[in-house]
Amino acid sequence: MTRWDGRRACVTGASAGIGRAAAAALAARGAHVELVARRGPELEEATDQIRSRGGQASFTSLDLADTERLKSWAREYVTRSPVHILVNNVSGPAPGALLTSDVADLHAGMTLHLAAAQTLVQSFEPGMRDAGFGRIINVLSTSVREPIPNLGVSNTIRAAMAGWSKTLSRELAPGITINNVLPGFTDTERLATLRAHLAKRRGISEKEVEAQWLAGVPEGRLARPEEVAAAIEFLASPEAGFIRGVNLAVDGGRTNAIA
């Protein structure tokens, strides 16, 4: 496997779960990774772990929902170093039916996901164009293909992100690709929160909730964050340079959609 010495990556939501695993995978290939999330102590721990394995990493604690601060940080960051790989990864909105969700929840979700991703792409894209190399990977959800019950706001936001990504895939310069990874049921904090919510709502145990999920997963288990990170790593590689504007499901075969 080729190393990516000299490449720089930015991974959001990198304090835990898929984001943290993705940061570790990119660093293992030789990229210098900037880990971004709100939780400073967890970011520091993740960064130290990468460094202990010989990787290059630093971190920034900030709230992606603060668009103006995010824009200021990103534009200052690229004056010091370009970003060649951007992984847009944000925890999903709270569960609940779309019909009963407040408009404010939709605004908040759009800001945290779509506005943040747009801000980072606009800030980092010039450096990618100058380098003739760029990889943008968005961690979304299988709900892009099949909406998930009781995740109304999340389904809506993820679909908007998919449309945004596909549109950009036709606008970005040659050498800069954008693709989406669609995780299925993955063993993360987010899934644990959702499992507890559904168990309480249905009056059953969390084990029963998980068993119901896995009944529809041919692989018969939850994904590990590292397995989703492996897909991100591949899409970020030079070898994936002719893959552009796709939705790659990493779901153990759960979704029934053909495309």
**Given this model, what pLDDT does residue 53 score?**
97
Q: 91-138 pLDDT, tens per residue?
A: 888 889 999 999 999 999 999 999 999 999 999 999 999 999 999 999
Please tell me whether residues 215 and 115 are part of one structural domain. Answer: no
Please tell me whether residues 75 and 157 are part of one structural domain. Answer: yes
Instruction: Give percent of the chain with pLDDT exceeding 70.
Output: 99
Q: How far apart are CA 62 and CA 65, in angstroms?
A: 9
Please tell me whether residues 230 and 203 are part of one structural domain. Answer: no
Domain carrying residue 205: 187-222
Residue 201 lies in a domain: yes
**Given this model, what pLDDT does residue 26 score?**
98
Please tell me whether residues 121 and 139 are part of one structural domain. Answer: yes
Domain count for the chain, please give it. 2
Please tell me whether residues 53 and 64 are part of one structural domain. Answer: yes
User: What is the rounded average pLDDT of the residues 253-257?
Assistant: 92
Q: 210-225 pLDDT, tens per residue?
A: 999 999 999 999 999 9
The mean pLDDT of the chain is 96
Extended strands (E) in the chain: 8-12, 32-37, 56-61, 85-89, 134-139, 176-183, 247-250
What is the DSSP annotation of 61-121? E--TT-HHHHHHHHHHHHHH---SEEEEE-PPPPPB-STT--HHHHHHHIIIIIIHHHHHH
Please tell me whether residues 167 and 234 are part of one structural domain. Answer: yes
User: What is the rounded average pLDDT of the residues 167-191?
Assistant: 96
Does the pLDDT of residue 1 top 70, yes or no?
A: no
Amino acid at 57: A
Q: 142-154 pLDDT, tens per residue?
A: 999 999 988 999 9
Residue 134 lies in a domain: yes
Residue partners of 157: CB distance under 8 A and separation at least 6: 92, 93, 106, 109, 110, 113, 114
Tokens of 218: 């041919």
Q: How confident is the model at residue 21 (pLDDT cuts 50, 70, 90)?
A: very high
Largest CA distance in the chain: 56
Residue 21 lies in a domain: yes
